[in-house]
Amino acid sequence: MRYIFKFPDIGEGIAEGKILTWYVKKGQAIKAGDPLVKMETDKVVTDIPSPREGVIAAVFGSEGEVINVGDPLVEIEIEGVEGEAAQEVAAEAAETRKHLTEEPIDEKGFGVVGTLEVAGDSAYLPAGEEGRPAPAAPAEAPLKKSLATPVARAMAKDMGIDIDRVPGTGPGARVLKKDIASYYENIQKGKGKPKGEAAPPVSPVEYQPLSQIRKTIAKNMTRSKHNAAHMTVFEEVEVSALVRLRTDYKEKFAKEGLKFSYMPFIIKAAAEGLKSHPVLNSELDLENDRMIYKKNYNINIAVDTAEGLVVPVVRDADRLSIREITIKIAEIAEKARERKLTLEDMKDGTFTVTNYGAIAGTYGVPVINYPQAAILGIGRILKEPVVKNDEIVVGHVLPLSLSVDHRIVDGGDAARFLLRVKELLSDPVSLLLV
Amino acid sequence: MAFDLIIIGSGPAGYVAAIRAGQVGLKTAIIEKSKIGGMCLNWGCIPTKALLESAKKLEAVKGAAAFGIDGIDKDKLTFNWPTALKRSDRIVKRLTKGVEFLLKKNGVEIIAGDAEITSQTSVTVDNRLLETKYIMIASGSRPEPPGYTLPKGMTIGIGYLLQLEQLPEKPSVLGSGPHAVELAQFFKMAGKDVKMLVPGSEEDFLPGMDPYLVDFVKKTFKKSKIDILFFSTLEGGSGGGLSVDGTEVACDGLINALGRKAVIPSSRIEFELEDGFLKVDDFLRTNYENIYAVGDVNGRSYLAHAASAQGLHAVNVIGGFKEPFDDTRVPLNMYTSPEIASVGFSEPEVEELGYSYKVTEFPLTANGKALIEGHTEGLVRIISEKKYGEVLGVQIVAEHATDMIAEAALVLRLEGTVFDVANTIHAHPTVSEIFMEAGFAAFDQPIHK
């Protein structure tokens, strides 16, 4: 029997995804669990495994194409399953899908720095089908079929063109012979020019399609700026003690292959600060006229990648040691750069730390990772003259920028939180004792 | 009162365009100086085919004894020209009335009179000034005078033929196209001693038609004893007949079916011409963007159905349609006996276009319906492209070829292949089954061969 496997709802309201790489082709035998395709959604890049063992009968969609949840991905020929058994398989597929859609949806707060929220939010993206009863998946969902003339079909097949992608110019958008010819010509043109041809004039602008990540960042930034009343407080912390501590233990960590940075201390300090100032670890739920105070301290950290910023999460930072946070950061940073982050790595954040100072910059005005209540920006630590015991000495100054949603966080709360963070960072040993 | 569209001429180009324009809501007027329906309805397609049908009936009755009809005295059978003419007139009247009704029904104003184009947006008819956004010239064509020195009263135009009280006994048909061939056969069937006079040489006979069909016509003429004389000089003969290349040919009427020339309405603005016809672009526009020329007057075709298609296309272009007019798939019919029809490319054309092609044919000899009807002369030829099997051209010789060609025209329009032709279920018994068989022959074996 033939079984059409559709792009599943991989959770969190993802509505569409871009096909990056096909791992399988027509005629290839596969086992259940074998990766079929690498997909980029607005949140993650992930492999979609095959739900069944069989032979690939057809592959739908080409690399680079954006498809919706529910669109067919592959058709699998499952050997030896006929009749009733075939129906069972179909029912099973429907069941699986149902499970996926019935999972509770909790996608508050992960995302990209300063923006960040969740891509699947129904206000911005098509809602998909979550929450609705799963339709009985038809075993053979017909593909959208183009109207085309017989010769056009024969040509498309011959040239390896998916005729459903060719815009038709005939009556009723029928695809004609000439449409295939011009489509083919365009493809050929796109494959580079023969050598010796004069270089085309340089255009003053270049157009590039938006990546899913960039689309999400754009939407989320706008949403945050539109909804939250941003207010930013700046503070300086003298962190000579922290610098000393790091210098002392850097080597030791390096021996274990770990990069010992200031980030774990800042994350830990932030988590502690949040514990005593819960309003910064909260969310405004206007729809229900209430506040949501979060009892876990999941700190998003902004990671700069080639495609754009992503914001994986360090879960329960309050309960992790500095060493554990160090390991966790190394792990997610690497995943982020290799684009292997999963939804699990990104969801449920409650507060965000962005460390632009790692590159350059002292102060910034970070944009809240909406709907979180606040975001802490870390500037570059600079050696500066500071006054200690009425004497001017060389100190290490860490600039902090805290943006809060002023609708729920008052100036006093913000300042008190900053003060607490400042205390903890200027006396790092206290962080080890909490 | 301003119009959206003024159409000059109510032949198959003009009246079809006018009805369509009315249907899509254009305020339209059609100007006709003679009879509604133009050449086609009044002096061309319809009456000539009606008369041809009378002649064919005579042939059929002559052969009816073999079908089991007794009581036919062949010696008493004659062709009654006046009666045949009356019948033809009735058909013409009925059709022209129908056209008039349709024009009115669709809100088209019919204006009788001579049109003069006075500016890019105005036309006068007998001192009445009509303003308009668009003008469509559909004024048709007329036969070119023969250009030979001939005895007075010898030459008969096609229009005049229909007014004759009796047919000439020894007619000659002057011309080289399908109409000339039809007329020659008509006279033969009506029992007249007819000759066909073709200016030039063998190659000038039925220009543009597939050589295979040309050969077929020549053979048919030979069988039915119609002489085709190719000539370079033609003049009056000493015995009251004709002298063709110096040879005396008995003739009491020369039917002029030579080339045609455009009838261009008088105009105060200048139009660009090409070989005496109004020059149009691919969208059937003249050198003025809002003035169209459709039908014979633009010289692209002399066929009524091509003219109608052009008229419709021009209205569509006015409505914003952006495709050029495609006249590669116009069927060409000859109402001979048997009929001949073709559509698409001829063999020399596909060769010139560089196609890798094949020609498959299937004869009528074993076709049940053809045997039943007693018309087993004929065949279907399909010219198809080899790679995808696309049908590029179809030629049919059969008693009802002119009706059968519509199927082929549809296949071409839909870019169909020989596989589609072969796998289309054709009803049995029908003559059209041979089309399916020729389709099979293109990539496999025909069944009944």
Nearest to A154 among B323, B388, B414 (CB): B388
Query: Which of A213, A231, A222, A15 lies closest to A115, judged by CA?
Result: A222
Nearest to A176 among B415, B417, B419 (CB): B415
Query: Do residue A233 and residue A205 come from a single domain?
Result: no
Which CATH number do you get for residue A173?
Answer: 4.10.320.10
Give pLDDT tens digits for A265-317: 999 999 999 999 999 999 999 888 999 999 999 999 988 887 788 889 999 99
Q: How far apart are the C-alpha atoms of B227 and B172, rounded to whole Å?
A: 10
| Residue of chain A with shortest Cα separation from B416 | A150
A150 and B387 in contact by Cβ < 8 A? no
> Chain B residues with CB inside 8 Å of A150's CB?
390, 414-417, 419-420
Query: Do residue A327 and residue A247 come from a single domain?
Result: yes
Query: Residues of chain B with pLDDT > 70: what percent?
Result: 100
- Distance from the Cα of B207 to chain A's closest Cα (Å) equals 29
B388 and A176 in contact by Cβ < 8 A? no
Taking residue A50's Cβ as centre, other Cβ atoms within 10 Å add up to 21
β-strand partners of A300: A313, A352
Confidence of residue A65 (pLDDT cuts 50, 70, 90): confident
CB B193 within 8 A of CB B251: no
Which CATH number do you get for residue A51?
Answer: 2.40.50.100
Query: Do residue A282 and residue A375 come from a single domain?
Result: yes
Confidence of residue B1 (pLDDT cuts 50, 70, 90): low
Query: Do residue A223 and residue A150 come from a single domain?
Result: no
- In the annotation, is B428 catalytic? yes
ipTM over 0.95: no
Q: In the numeric block, which tokens belong to residue B205?
A: 């006979």
> Of A71, A99, A118, which marks where a domain is finished?
A118
Indicate whether A125 belongs to any domain.
Answer: no
Indicate whether A238 belongs to any domain.
Answer: yes
A151 and B419 in contact by Cβ < 8 A? no
A152 in B contact zone (CB under 8 Å): yes
**pLDDT score of B92:** 95
A151 and B417 in contact by Cβ < 8 A? yes
**pLDDT score of A97:** 46
CB B231 within 8 A of CB B204: no
B388 and A158 in contact by Cβ < 8 A? yes
Nearest to B388 among A151, A169, A176 (CB): A151
**pLDDT score of A87:** 52
CB-defined contacts A:B, below 8 A:
28
β-pair type (B155-157, B253-256):
parallel
Indicate whether A190 belongs to any domain.
Answer: yes
> Chain A residues with CB inside 8 Å of B420's CB?
150
Q: How far apart are the C-alpha atoms of A112 and A119, rounded to whole Å?
A: 10
A209 pLDDT exceeds 50?
Answer: yes
Query: Do residue A336 and residue A354 come from a single domain?
Result: yes
> Of A101, A118, A135, which marks where a domain is finished?
A118
Mean pLDDT across the stretch B405-419? 95
Indicate whether A135 belongs to any domain.
Answer: no
**pLDDT score of B268:** 95
A246 pLDDT exceeds 50?
Answer: yes
Between B81-105 and B45-62, two packed helices, what is the crossing angle to 10 degrees?
140
In which region does residue A135 sit, left (phi positive, over 0), alpha (psi from -120 to 50) or beta (all else)? beta
B414 and A155 in contact by Cβ < 8 A? no
> Chain A residues with CB inside 8 Å of B329's CB?
none
- Residues with Cβ < 8 Å from B419, sequence gap 6 or more? A150, B389, B439, B443
Q: How far apart are the C-alpha atoms of A153 and A145, rounded to whole Å?
A: 11
Element holding A40 (H helix, E strand): strand A35-41
Indicate whether A126 belongs to any domain.
Answer: no
Pick from A149, A151, A177, A178 the residue to mutate for testing the B interface (most B CBs within 10 Å): A151
**pLDDT score of A306:** 78
Query: Do residue A189 and residue A241 come from a single domain?
Result: no
A131 pLDDT exceeds 50?
Answer: no
Query: Do residue A42 and residue A179 come from a single domain?
Result: no
Q: In the numeric block, which tokens belong to residue A356?
A: 């632009």
**pLDDT score of A194:** 47
Confidence of residue B444 (pLDDT cuts 50, 70, 90): confident
A36 in B contact zone (CB under 8 Å): no
Confidence of residue A81 (pLDDT cuts 50, 70, 90): low
B250 pLDDT exceeds 80?
Answer: yes
Confidence of residue A29 (pLDDT cuts 50, 70, 90): confident
A143 pLDDT exceeds 80?
Answer: no
A149 and B389 in contact by Cβ < 8 A? no
Matching residue, tokens 């009280």:
B165
> Of A167, A188, A209, which marks where a domain is finished?
A209
Confidence of residue A96 (pLDDT cuts 50, 70, 90): very low
Confidence of residue A8 (pLDDT cuts 50, 70, 90): confident
Between B178-189 and B45-62, two packed helices, what is the crossing angle to 10 degrees?
40
Confidence of residue A77 (pLDDT cuts 50, 70, 90): confident
Pick from B386, B388, B411 the residue to mutate for testing the A interface (most A CBs within 10 Å): B388
Query: Do residue A230 and residue A342 come from a single domain?
Result: yes
B415 and A158 in contact by Cβ < 8 A? no
Q: How far apart are the C-alpha atoms of A388 and A398, rounded to whole Å?
A: 16
Taking residue B163's Cβ as centre, other Cβ atoms within 10 Å add up to 10
**pLDDT score of A9:** 73
Give pLDDT tens digits for B199-234: 999 999 998 889 999 999 999 999 999 999 999 999
Q: Which of A66-75, B188-197, B308-317, B433-442 has the lowest mean pLDDT?
A: A66-75
Q: In the numeric block, which tokens belong to residue A383?
A: 């050696």
* DSSP code string of A344-366: HHHTT--EEEE-GGGTS-S---P
Which CATH number do you get for residue A381?
Answer: 3.30.559.10
User: Which is the catalytic residue, given B313, B426, B428, B448?
Assistant: B428
Mean pLDDT across the stretch B179-198? 93
A151 in B contact zone (CB under 8 Å): yes
Q: How far apart are the C-alpha atoms of B9 and B18, rounded to whole Å?
A: 10
Indicate whether A192 belongs to any domain.
Answer: yes
**pLDDT score of A243:** 92
**pLDDT score of A137:** 42
B4 pLDDT exceeds 80?
Answer: yes
* Domain range for A187: 145-209
A152 and B414 in contact by Cβ < 8 A? no
Nearest to B414 among A149, A154, A155 (CB): A149
- Distance from the Cα of B19 to chain A's closest Cα (Å) equals 22
> Chain A residues with CB inside 8 Å of B344's CB?
none
Q: How far apart are the C-alpha atoms of B196 and B181, rounded to whole Å?
A: 8
Give pLDDT tens digits for B25-54: 999 999 999 999 998 899 888 999 999 999
Query: Do residue A224 and residue A196 come from a single domain?
Result: no
β-strand partners of A19: A39
> Chain A residues with CB inside 8 Å of B388's CB?
151, 154-155, 158
**pLDDT score of B213:** 93
Give pLDDT tens digits for B105-154: 999 999 999 999 999 999 999 889 999 999 999 999 988 888 888 888 88
B419 and A158 in contact by Cβ < 8 A? no
Give pLDDT tens digits for B415-433: 999 999 999 999 999 999 9
Query: Do residue A404 and residue A346 come from a single domain?
Result: yes
Query: Which of B50, B49, B46, B52 lies closest to B11, judged by CA?
Result: B46
Query: Which of A369, A373, A336, A335 lies closest to A354, judged by CA?
Result: A369
Cα A107 to the chain's mean position, in Å? 12
For chain B, the average pLDDT equals 93
Query: Do residue A13 and residue A73 come from a single domain?
Result: yes
> Chain A residues with CB inside 8 Å of B323's CB?
169
Q: Which of A19-23, A343-347, A398-402 has the lowest mean pLDDT?
A: A343-347
Query: Do residue A219 and residue A204 come from a single domain?
Result: no
Of residues B101 and A20, more confidently modeled: B101
Give pLDDT tens digits for A179-188: 999 998 888 8
**pLDDT score of A13:** 62
B419 and A150 in contact by Cβ < 8 A? yes
> Chain A residues with CB inside 8 Å of B443's CB?
none
- SS3 readout for chain B: CEEEEEEECCCCCHHHHHHHHHHCCCCEEEEECCCCCHHHHHCCHHHHHHHHHHHHHHHHHHCHHHHCCCCCCHHHCCCCHHHHHHHHHHHHHHHHHHHHHHHHHCCCEEEECCEEEEECCEEEECCEEEEEEEEEECCCEEECCCCCCCCCCCEEEHHHHCCCCCCCCCEEEECCCHHHHHHHHHHHHCCCCCEEEEECCHHHCCCCCCHHHHHHHHHHHHHCCCEEEEECCEEECCCCCEEECCEEECCCEEEECCCEEECCCEECCCCCEECCEECCCCCCECCCCCEEECHHHHCCCCCHHHHHHHHHHHHHHHCCCCCCCCCCCCCEEECCCCEEEEEECCHHHHHHCCCCEEEEEEECCCCHHHHHHCCCCCEEEEEEECCCCEEEEEEEEECCHHHHHHHHHHHHHCCCEHHHHHHCCCCCCCCCHHHHHHHHHHHCCCCCC
Q: How far apart are the C-alpha atoms of A327 and B387, rounded to whole Å?
A: 63
**pLDDT score of B437:** 95
Indicate whether A132 belongs to any domain.
Answer: no
Cis preceding-peptide flag for B171 (omega within 30 of 0): no
Of residues B319 and A126, more confidently modeled: B319
Indicate whether A134 belongs to any domain.
Answer: no
- Distance from the Cα of A173 to chain B's closest Cα (Å) equals 13
Q: How far apart are the C-alpha atoms of B42 and B52, rounded to whole Å?
A: 15
- Distance from the Cα of A196 to chain B's closest Cα (Å) equals 29
The count of domains in chain A is 3
